[in-house]
Amino acid sequence: MIIGSTLENDNLEKRIAITPEIVKKYVSLGFKIILSENYGSHIGIKDEKYLELGVKISKDDKEILNASDIIVQLGMLSEDKFSLMKKNQILIGVLNPFNNNEKLYKLVKNGIKLFSLELLPRITRAQSMDILSSQANLAGYKAVIESFAYFEKAIPMMMTAAGTIPAAKVLVVGAGVAGLQAIATAKRMGAIVFATDVRMASKEQVESLGGKFLTVEGSENLETEGGYAKEASDDFKKKQEELLSETLKKVDIVICTALIPGKKAPIIIKETMINNMQSGSIIYDLAAIQGGNTDYSEVDKIIEKNGVKIIGESNVLNKLPVSASSLYAKNMFNFVDNLFDKENKTINIKLEDEIIEKTLIK
């Protein structure tokens, strides 16, 4: 069987789905690999490295898409590419079914099997395939590094003969995987860290990392069975706003990570809150691509309001493409390995397997 992968639009996506390290694993299962020319050259992986491992390199995406039994990507293929796909092929990636519903329906109708990895169930057996966790971990780390680069003061407390510089105060909004890594990174760099989340289960995790969890009085636990956050009630939102308004007056840097799967990101930091923040403060919004957690967030723009910089990021992982590709490629291999019937050397779509059933787009 042949696994193929074509170049992404590198203006939008610099990560790759197959690294040289992972080629060896696919070959050990009996797969052949075909990739686009210069597939990894933008992150320092030359074609020669792939060729040494037996990979076929092609200048023609049509050849790759025609030859492959399984196509692995980061995001959705462009329309000109998916029009080349044929019945019984398998496409695996982050297909964003909430936004690409019409395109995906056409592919399913044409007999193409689609698996979207962001739909993986939160179960122990799926952890090695969990792209949301591996990528969010890096995103939380990088968000802190980027926001600190824009902040014009020192982060840790510094005591000198000339006086003391107080430690920067950081607020992390949303304590999922990205948020928890942001807390850990900011704490390691000497900041005083606060965090808030609608899921009460996050309190213990935040505190174990040295952060202070901001609790809304009489708060309800807004967590789905799958471990994600769900929509808060109006009463909760009002209490959360009051707590945040007071906290933001004292905070230097805010990292926003709050997302609800398949929905627009919740607006958590309102215009009035931003107006009361200290001049020189930074808001780094990882949720900008889904509308943002503030009233002013714009994708890939820095908006300044009353001296507060609001930074919207479409894909912070493009700034860590080597590390992000390494983890993504491993997640992808583990998913393919789970699909593969090693005895018969075929793909076995067993719907009784929760991992397969949840990620298959029907």
The catalytic residues are 122, 127, 130, 133, 228
Please name the residues in contact with 265: beta carbons below 8 A apart, sequence gap of 6 or more: 258, 259, 287, 288, 290, 291, 292, 293
Tokens 């170049």, located at residue: 7
Span between the terminal Cα atoms of the chain, in Å: 23
358 and 116 in contact (C-beta within 8 Å)?
A: no
Q: CA 283, CA 271: separation in Å to the nearest integer?
A: 12
Task: Please count the residues of the chain.
Answer: 362
Within 10 angstroms of residue 58's Cβ, the number of other Cβ atoms is 18
* H helix or E strand, kind and range, residue 205: helix 202-208
Report the run of H or E that residue 212 belongs to, with start and end: strand 212-213
Q: From CA 216, how far away is CA 278, in angstroms rounded?
A: 23
